[in-house]
A = this chain, B = another copy of it.
Amino acid sequence: VLAGDLAFVWADELLDSTALPAAALDRARRVFTELRTEVMAGQYLDLVLAAAREADEAAARKVALLKSARYTVTRPLELGAALAPAADPATLAALRAYGDAVGLAFQLRDDVLGLFGDPTCTGKGTLDDLREGKRTMLALRALRLADPAQRVVLGAALGDPTLDEERAEEVRAIVRRTGALASIELLVRQQADAAMVAVEHLREPARSALVELATTATDRLR
């Protein structure tokens, strides 16, 4: 806790010790405060949902937005824009739309890789999310689309720390057969497309860099 608090202060100190104009720093601090507040709200919501064991997709999406999208993509882009001399409202709106879409797609892709990925590529096992009982949007959609028999299998697997590869394969088969995997993959592509559209009027080289980032973040295999 103390080390975390100290890192918190160092982040402030780093911002304070830049030689940037006061107006730019002032804008950046507001974004940074927003970022920090959101990630804590997301973490809190995540804990509440995990404890209550009654997450729905809308709640899981909100967690993904606050903890992944805003923290990892949207607010960092806004931080950069805040430090620039004068970002116009249209550019800021484009960055926000792009960040939320890419960030959500990235998290959904991460959820898919957590179940179907190649651990030698992702560096992350494909049993961990299941054993932890993580209420990802993929898992929640599969639960919603499952028939009663499938739902029993999914429900028993989620959060079982002794789950083995054989039962994980059953889960994967259900996630495919219900159409949950295909519909989440579709959502990833829709979000990635929305991100590309959001930035198509931005100037180069920003536009190309953002398009490349969106591709890397959502097509990634690891």
Contacts and interface: CB of A to CB of B under 8 A. Distances in A.
Interface residues of A, number: 21
A26 B33 contact: no
Contacts of A16: 26, 29-30, 33
Interface in A101-136: none
A186 interface: no
Contacts of A5: 4-5, 8, 36, 40
Nearest to A37: B9
A1 interface: yes
A209 interface: no
A110 to B, nearest CB: 22
A33 B12 contact: yes
A173 interface: no
A43 interface: yes
Interface string A18-48: 0000100010011001001100100110010
Nearest to A8: B8
A33 B8 contact: no
A13 interface: yes
Interface of A: 1-2, 4-6, 8-9, 12-13, 16, 22, 26, 29-30, 33, 36-37, 40, 43-44, 47
